[in-house]
Every structure is written in structure tokens, then in C-alpha cells.
Amino acid sequence: MSEGETFPANYTDVCYTNPAQFSLGATDQSVSNFLYQMSRTSPNPLKVTFGTLPKRVNIPASGRAFGDFDGYAQDAISAAHAQFPAFNWGQYDQRTNNPGFGYDNSTTGPDGELDYVIFCFRVGCHPSIRQDDGVAGVPFATIPANASHPAYAITTGHCQAGSTLGWPSVLHQLAHTLYGAPHVLGANSTTGNHYYGTLGWSMMQNAATSFSAAAWERWYLGWTELTTGPAQVSSDIGPGRLAPNGTYVLRDYVTTGDVMRLELPNTNQYLWLENRAKNGPLDRRNGYVLAPDGNAYLPAPQGLLAMVENMSPSRTSFVGPFNIAQVNGLRVVSAEGNFDYRPSGPLYTVNNHLHGNRTYNYQLRENTGPPVLHNNATGGHSEITSIRGNRDGDRRIRYDSGTGNADMTVGNEFTPLFVVDDLITDGLFGPHVGTRTVGFRYALDTNPMIIPHQTYDPANERQSVIPLSGLSVEITGYDAASGDLTLQVRYDNTAVTHDTRWTGTLQTFPVPGATAGREIYLDGATLTLDRSATPQRETPGPHDDFVNDTELRLGTGTSLGVANGGVLRLTGAGTTLYLEDGARLVLDPNNARL
């Protein structure tokens, strides 16, 4: 092919062109292999191949305004039809397009509409997208009938710019079409009706942490079921829905499809668990291996990974890209913990370690005295969180509830984290969010705690109440040969046996079978209720900072017990303990302190 007629150079790296290429042992990081490996445990794994016209179609740009990609697309199709009258369009009409297919996929077959079309423009194709980006949806175009083929319609697909397929954009736009995906995990810098957001792994945001779908996403698409372990026991878990002794085996996520979904009491949200045991191509990042400064980025996380989901509890409850309640509806829980990250010094590029992105040298330890981590178990910032802060010094942390579909107004003000205490940590990639350590727990007295993905009320600049529960998850076994994890899940573990610090607005609810009959039982440990140092609001509040007061509310019929030398400590301006009618604070008369 002569110059000016070539395809994007990365075409065959991004997609397969022949069904014979699919293999369970494939190690490439193509879009085709992504879809096949993520659906490998379903009855009919996806085998998606792509093809192109015999050569690139060139059309004049004159006569149309920039951004008229509907018109340009029809011009391109008309030119292709004239240049290649015998082209076999029918090979790309194998399935029934939306909305004609049945929910269970039982009604499918050719329907006169091409299954999926990507218009790859040589230059920009729309004012709202960057040179190397894409836009969801495809211009409707028609392919007239001729002696070689019937007429076809183009109704499904997306547009790319910059002469490249750009695999992250292909998966991102495909997710919009495949299941109406909203922007999540930092995609398009959205936060929806949440104040905080994390990066992570999904079809929407697959470059940062690992090249894979999220557990919720894989289940929602019907690619895996709510089962786990060799016996494939139910992993749809909640109070009253536990395996014997609450014991589960969680095998490798990618190859077995094992997932666990745990109900978060007093919410409509769930905790999803995966086990990254194999370090295969879909456990690793696609790209972001070597930094521009010559240093290698830290590897992708392994072991137990956790994500809180506030999207859809069933496959029949649909999600959508314009639903604010679902935008940013996934939040990664970091095994490393949550902390008060305090910026030190000015923003800088760290020797261009992250392609020109600027960050602060965040401080977790005091510069004098013994090193003390600023733990904030109920705070919103972990290494993989986009760190909230007033970057421009205008005394307002910009919050934008837009969906990321050309409706953003002021944008969201936050900073990626990749330097802490003078060391490059690559935190935004989440290298420390997973663990295999036997004895590791999520519980009331651990950092982090399992809390819901809080919603944000911009009118009052407050986040939703954190409902406390007895949910705990502990790694009780690890098989080094297979990578299998053994986990114990409880819903009645309300003991606090290790010192911990809580901030924000929290409330107790009745917990059947709670430890010692107390919804919070301080057993020889210190619980500190403290004022947060993590921003929680857009403008300075009563104390001239971006933090709201901390309150622990003991709900009706619940109790907090302090025993065996336990200490309940309230510190920081505005911190309060509130007892509703019928709530109790019970102190050991011999050895407890308030």
C-alpha cells in the first residue's frame, strides 16, 4: 500500500482478525483477548474479531464544518461503497443489534445493521475530543444495495481520532455501547454525586491498575456468576447468607471467574472481592511500565482486591451513562489503608516521572519525633484516590457532578498521588491495594474499614452518614502453589481490639449477635474520634478549613461498651458523641476511660 493509504500501525496489536487466534493461553493484551479472557467462564465466551476496508478512504474536508462527523462519516461510507462495490459487508452483520435482541440473547442473527463500526479519523473528528481520543456513538450512515449485496445500516459503534485505534478508548467506548456504562474509576475526571473517586480497573478505566474488567462489571455482563471455590458455593453473601463458619475459598479471578459479593448492611451497596493469583496479562497494566524518567513503575497489585459498588444490584436493573447516581459508582478499597495526606511544597512534575503530570510531595509522617502515620480509617483518601485539595489557592475545592458526557462545568479539583514522604510511590496505579497476608482483616478496628461509597450533598457540603456494622473479612489461609485464598466472613464482629481513629459522621445500627452484645465493643483498645485532616467540603467551614465536624451517633437500641482498659477518646474541635433515645454507653466500672 502506498503512503497515505495505510491503516493505523497498531491495528493488529489492538484486535484479532481471525477466530483461530483465540486461545485460553493467549498472553497478548489486545481488545479481542480482553473480551475473550474476561468472558471465558461464561457458556459462550466472546470471540470478537475486527476487519478493515481494503485501504483507507480519503475524502475532501471542504464543504463541511469542523465537527460535522455525521456528514463526514456518510461521505466516507459513500466513497467506500463506490471504491469497493463488491466488499463483503455481510461478514460484519452476525448479530441482532440493540434494541432488537432479547435480554437472554436468544434472539440474534443478521438484521441488516452492521454489528459494530469504528470510524477512525486521520485527524480530529469532533470539537469535544482530543487528537488521540474517541467519542461514544456512531454517525448513522447507510450502505446502498447493489448487485453484490443488500443495503446495510450503520447504527452502532464509535469514532476515533488521530489515525489510531487507541485500545483504552476502544474498550471505553465499547463499554458505553455494550451495557450503557457510566464513567467510573476516574474516567473523564468524573465524581458524580460522590466527593471522592478512585482510579482502578474496568472497561471504562483499564490503563491505571490492571488490564481487566471489575468483578461487578464481569458479573453484570453475565461473564461470571456469584460463586467461588472448587465447590462453587454461593458467594452472594449477607447477614443470614453465610457458608458454614463463614469460610470461603477464593481462587484466581481471571482464569476461574471466582468473585465474592458482600452486602453492606444498612445500605444498597456491596463489597466485591477478587483474587489476583496468576500475574497473567490481564492482571498487569497495559502500558505504564517504564516511566519517562527511566525508572520502572511499580507492578500491578496482587492478591485480594476489594471494590465497593453502588451501581446495580441485579442484571435487570439497568445502568446508564447519564445517571448521576451511577457515575463514579465504583470505589477501590486499598489494603494499605486510608490516610490524611498533607501536601508539602509546591506542585511539581517529579522529573517528568508521570508524563508531565504534577503532584505534591505528600507527607504522612511528622518531621520531628517518632514517625507516626496519619491513619484515617474512615477518611476518603488512599493511595489510589484522586486527592482532594485547593490547588489554585482560591479557597474553593471545585466539585462537579457532571456525567463526563460534555456536561462538565467547573470540573473536579484533585491531584494524582505518586510521591509520599520524599519517595516515589506510584500510588495512583494502586500498587499496594492488594494483599495475600494471612491475618489481614477488614473490620471495625482496621485501616481501612469497609464503609459505603458516601454520597455528597453540595447544598450543605456534607457527605452521607457512615453506617457501622459487624462486617469483617479476614484472610485465614493462603496456598502458595495455587494462589488460592481462604477467607472468613462475619456480620457480628463488633469488637475493637486494636487502637484506631475515626473521622466523619458515623452511626450505629442494631447488629444481631454483636460481640458482648455491643454494636461497638472497645476491648482493651483506644478508639479516637477526631477531626479529619482530609478535605470533606468545597468551601471553608466554621473552623476556616475544608473539614466538617466528626460525630459518632449511637442509634436507638444500640450500645457502645468500653472494657478491659479500653479508652474512648474525643479530640478536635466540634467532635461529639450523640446518644439517641434508647442508646447506651456502658463503661467497665473497674478499668475504662472516657
Q: How confident is the model over 1-34, as pLDDT tens digits?
A: 344 566 666 778 889 999 999 999 999 999 999 9
Cα 516 to Cα 258: distance, rounded to the nearest angstrom: 34
What pLDDT is attached to residue 371?
52
Residue 413 lies in a domain: no
What pLDDT is attached to residue 373?
64
| Domains of the chain: total | 1
pLDDT tens figures, 402-439: 999 888 999 999 999 999 999 999 999 999 999 999 99
Place of cell 489461609: 477
Residue 179 corresponds to which amino acid? Y
| Sign of the CA dihedral with 510 first, then 514, 518, and 522 last | negative
Q: What is the mean pLDDT of the chain?
A: 91
More confident residue, 369 or 35: 35
Residue 340 lies in a domain: no
Residue 548 lies in a domain: no
What pLDDT is attached to residue 176?
92
More confident residue, 405 or 487: 487
Residue 165 lies in a domain: yes
Here the cell at position 191 is 465524581
Phi, psi (degrees; rounded to nearest 5) at 8: -55, 135
Residue 496 has pLDDT above 60, yes or no: yes
pLDDT tens figures, 289-328: 999 999 999 999 999 999 999 999 999 999 999 999 999 9
pLDDT tens figures, 319-363: 999 999 999 999 999 999 999 999 999 999 999 999 999 999 999
Residue 132 lies in a domain: yes
What pLDDT is attached to residue 127?
46
Residue 390 lies in a domain: no
Q: What's the domain range around 36?
A: 11-179
Residue 569 corresponds to which amino acid? R
Place of cell 462519516: 73
Give Cα separations from 365 to 369, 526, 530, 593 (angstroms).
Answer: 10, 20, 17, 28
Residue 128 lies in a domain: yes
What pLDDT is attached to residue 10?
72
pLDDT tens figures, 251-303: 999 999 999 999 999 999 999 999 999 999 999 998 899 999 999 999 999 99
pLDDT tens figures, 117-128: 988 877 655 544
What pLDDT is attached to residue 580?
97
Bridge partners of residue 336, in order along the sequence: none
Q: Categorize the per-residue pLDDT at 56 as very low, low, confident or very high, splitting at 50, 70 and 90.
A: confident
What pLDDT is attached to residue 6?
63
Residue 206 has pLDDT above 70, yes or no: no
Residue 550 lies in a domain: no
| Sign of the CA dihedral with 332 first, then 333, 335, and 339 last | positive
End-to-end alpha carbon distance in the chain? 80
What pLDDT is attached to residue 76?
86
Asked whether the beta carbons of 280 and 255 are under 8 A apart, the reply is yes
CB burial of residue 171 (10 Å; 0-12, 13-18, 19+): buried
For a pLDDT cut of 70, what percent of the chain falls above it? 91
Residue 133 has pLDDT above 80, yes or no: no
Here the cell at position 212 is 481487566
